[in-house]
Amino acid sequence: MSDVDKEIMIIREKIKDVKKRWPFHSAKTSLYQELEDLESELEELKKKANCLRGNDSSAFARERKKTVQMWLLKTEPKEYSFQDLWREKNTVWDGVKAPLAQKNVKLMHGGDKVFIYHSGKEKAIVGTATVTCEPYPDPEREDEKLMVVDIEAGKPFIQPVTLKQVKDSGLFPDWELIRLPRLSVLPVSHEQWDKICRWSKP
């Protein structure tokens, strides 16, 4: 194991420790910042590790070329909420049936970033998650064309970002979140991701 891999293991343990100390409904800004700094450090170490391995394996070279995508997943909180995901740590994101939403699921890759959106009365982006695998057929259904992915909880937003806030900003009038309100899985641009994350902070 290289020194960089050891550093990655240490940072991952620190992230686990922060999440254990994280009170879901009342996280302090300092705790939020600590987690964000650790996650940024982890990403830099991963890039460094991949670069070091790049000369040894074409697989790692291909991995470096992958672009991390971002998505928004909608859920009715009465059925399955971000709080449920936070408690369980990870889950299979299933139940997606609409053709366009399924098309987006099939475009996902392990490592992609995700916003979790509470539909229904809340209509707000409430936290983040990460896709942890490639899409695969839903084991609970006979139709092998219906794909699912596994996701892992990221962090809850201190300030949920409402659909009204997004609309009122006037910044993203063409975003599917606004144009296609029934679409349950939709892409997020880098600009949209960065802006939403900034709005979520106090």
Q: Tell me: do 184 and 86 sit in the same domain.
A: yes
Rounded Cα gap, residues 84 and 148, in angstroms: 18
Which of 33, 49, 65 lies at the terminal end of a domain, its last residue? 65
**Residues 82 and 153 occupy one common structural domain:** yes
Separation of alpha carbons 202 and 194, rounded Å: 15
Same domain, 93 and 43: no
Please give the model's pTM, rounded to 2 decimal places.
0.74
Task: Provide the pLDDT for residue 62.
Answer: 46
106 and 193 fall within a common domain = yes
CATH number at residue 164: 3.10.590.10
Cβ(187)–Cβ(69) below 8 Å: yes
Q: Are residues 170 and 194 in the same domain?
A: yes
Domain termination residue (choose one: 40, 65, 90): 65
pLDDT at 24: 59
pLDDT at 191: 96
* Residue 34 belongs to domain spanning: 3-65
Residue 186 has a CB neighbour count (10 Å cut-off) of 19
- Name the domain boundary from 65, 92, 115: 65
Confidence (pLDDT) at 127? 96
pLDDT by position in tens, the chain (length 202): 677 777 878 878 887 787 777 665 555 667 667 777 777 777 777 766 666 655 444 444 444 445 789 999 999 999 999 999 999 999 999 999 999 999 999 999 999 999 999 999 999 999 999 999 999 999 888 888 899 999 999 999 989 999 999 999 999 999 999 999 999 999 999 999 999 999 998 7
pLDDT score for 55: 46
Quote the CA–CA distance of 15 and 27 in Å, as a whole number.
15
| Encoded tokens for 194 | 């960065």
- Same domain? For 96 and 176 the reply is yes
Query: In terms of domains, do 129 and 59 share one?
Result: no
The total of structural domains in the chain comes to 2
